[in-house]
Amino acid sequence: MSSMKIQIMETIAALMTAAFGLIAALAWNEAIKELIAQYFTAGDALMGLFVYAIIVTVIAIIAGLLIARSLAKLKALDAKSK
């Protein structure tokens, strides 16, 4: 395969992965919102939104740290193999 075709396939794979990630994130978004709605009454809606925002922020931070760590390990392995 030519390098152009490989780049196109890699880009398509990355876009498809991102799309499925977005779909999964939206599904989790709804699940977490429903879970919080079960524990907070209508009067506590604002508090529920803050709890939701905090949960999502913590998940995003943990995911970001795990991704950064994995990337650093891959870069280190790549540097050793050269």
- Whether the model clears a pTM of 0.85, i.e. scores above it, the answer is no
Q: How many domains does the chain have?
A: 1
Task: Give 5's Cβ-side CA count (13 Å radius).
Answer: 2
Residue-by-residue pLDDT tens, the chain, 82 positions: 677 888 888 888 889 889 988 998 899 888 888 888 888 776 777 787 888 888 888 988 998 899 889 888 888 887 888 7
Domain that holds residue 48: 3-81
Q: Is 24 exposed, middle or buried (0-12, 13-18, 19+ CB in 10 A)?
A: exposed
User: Any idea what the Cα angle at residue 81 is, between residues 78 and 82, rounded to 5°?
Assistant: 95
**Which DSSP helix (H) or strand (E) runs through 26?**
helix 3-39
Residue 64 amino acid letter: G
d(CA 59, CA 67): 12
